[in-house]
Amino acid sequence: MSILRNPLCVSTSIIVIGCMLAFTTAVVPHYSDGYQLLFSVLLAGLSPYLAYGMLAWLTQRPSVLVAGIVLLAVHVWLTIDQRFLHYNEYANQEIYYIPALIAIVLMGIVFVLISVSDFMKHEHHPHKSVLEK
């Protein structure tokens, strides 16, 4: 039960599982006798977890954990759908643009949080005394 009390530990677990999913998606069959690693698919799969890692490090709130669980659920769905059920060498490009869209949204949230925290640290903020309480 102590693992759930530490949001950073849960976020780290989400990132590790996501990295394994990205690797699973990137390793594809090569003809009939082997596998090959698609580096571009691996990078596309890892990009949302890079953004999520920054978000989890900046804010350790339950809402970030919910966002991580949703991210993981979408990635599990994408992996099962694109890699195992309908594998056609990723011809429809969903394996690229869905993780990229998620990463862009998460990076936008990170950018807003960094901007707000920098603005709050500024000495001349008009509501600094009210917001510190």
pLDDT in the model for residue 20: 93
- On whether the CB atoms of residues 114 and 51 are closer than 8 A, the answer is no
Q: Which residues contact 46 (CB under 8 A, 6 or more apart)?
A: 18, 19, 22
Global pTM reads 0.75
pLDDT in the model for residue 106: 85
Rounded Cα distance between 11 and 6, Å, is 9
Among 67, 54, 62, smallest CA distance to 117 is for 54
SS3 29: strand
pLDDT in the model for residue 18: 93
Rounded Cα distance between 67 and 94, Å, is 20
For 63-85, what is each residue's pLDDT tens digit?
A: 788 888 889 999 999 888 888 88
Percent share of the chain, pLDDT over 90: 14
Beta strand 27-30 with 34-37 is antiparallel
For 93-118, what is each residue's pLDDT tens digit?
A: 888 888 889 889 888 887 787 777 65
